A and B are shown apart, each in its own frame.
Chain A
Amino acid sequence: NAGVTQTPKFQVLKTGQSMTLQCAQDMNHNSMYWYRQDPGMGLRLIYYSASEGTTDKGEVPNGYNVSRLNKREFSLRLESAAPSQTSVYFCASSVAPSGVEEQFFGPGTRLTVL
Chain B
Amino acid sequence: DAKTTQPNSMESNEEEPVHLPCNHSTISGTDYIHWYRQLPSQGPEYVIHGLTSNVNNRMASLAIAEDRKSSTLILHRATLRDAAVYYCILRQNNDMRFGAGTRLTVKP
Contact (A100, B95) CB under 8 Å given A105-B43, A108-B43: no
**Do A48 and B94 contact each other (CB < 8 Å), given the known contacts A40-B100, A99-B31, A100-B49?**
yes
> Could you say which of B36, B44, B87, B94 contacts A97, with CB atoms under 8 Å apart?
B94
Given A33-B94, A99-B31, A90-B46 contact (CB < 8 Å): no
Distance (Å) between the CB of A18 and the closest chain B CB?
A: 24
**What is the bound-complex CA distance between A100 and B30, given in angstroms?**
11
Taking a contact as CB atoms under 8 Å apart, the answer to whether A42 and B42 are in contact is: no
- A76 contacts across to B, CB distance below 8 A: none
Q: Interface size for chain A: under 10, 10 to 19, 20 to 34, or 35 or more residues?
A: 20 to 34
Decide if A21 is an interface residue (CB 8 Å cutoff). no
CB closest chain-B residue, reference A33: B94
Partner of A45, one of B30, B49, B95, B99: B95
Q: Is the CB of A107 within 8 A of B49?
A: no
- Residues of chain B lying within 8 A (CB to CB) of residue A100: 32, 49
Given known A-B contacts A50-B94, A105-B43, A105-B45, A99 and B101 have beta carbons under 8 A apart:
no
Decide if A41 touches B100 in the complex (CB within 8 Å).
yes
- In residues 23-63 of chain B, which contact A (Cβ within 8 Å)? 30-32, 36, 41-46, 49
Please give, as numbers and ranges, the residues of chain A lying within 8 Å of B45 by CB-CB distance.
Answer: 105
User: Within 8 Å of chain B (Cβ to Cβ): is A31?
Assistant: yes
- Whether B13 is near chain A, meaning CB under 8 Å from some CB there, is no
Closest residue on chain A to residue B43 by CB atoms: A105
Contacts of A98 in B (CB 8 A): 93
Instruction: Indicate which residue in A35, A42, A44, A99 contacts B30 across the interface (CB closer than 8 Å).
Output: A99
A residues neighboring B (CB under 8 Å): 4, 31, 33, 35, 40-45, 48, 50, 56, 58-59, 90, 92, 97-100, 102-108
| Shortest Cβ-Cβ A-B pairs, 3 listed | A42-B98, A105-B43, A102-B46
Chain A to chain B contacts (Cβ below 8 Å), 25 pairs? A41-B100, A42-B87, A42-B97, A42-B100, A42-B101, A43-B44, A43-B96, A44-B98, A45-B95, A45-B96, A45-B97, A90-B43, A92-B43, A97-B93, A97-B94, A98-B93, A99-B30, A99-B31, A99-B91, A100-B32, A102-B46, A102-B49, A103-B36, A105-B43, A105-B44
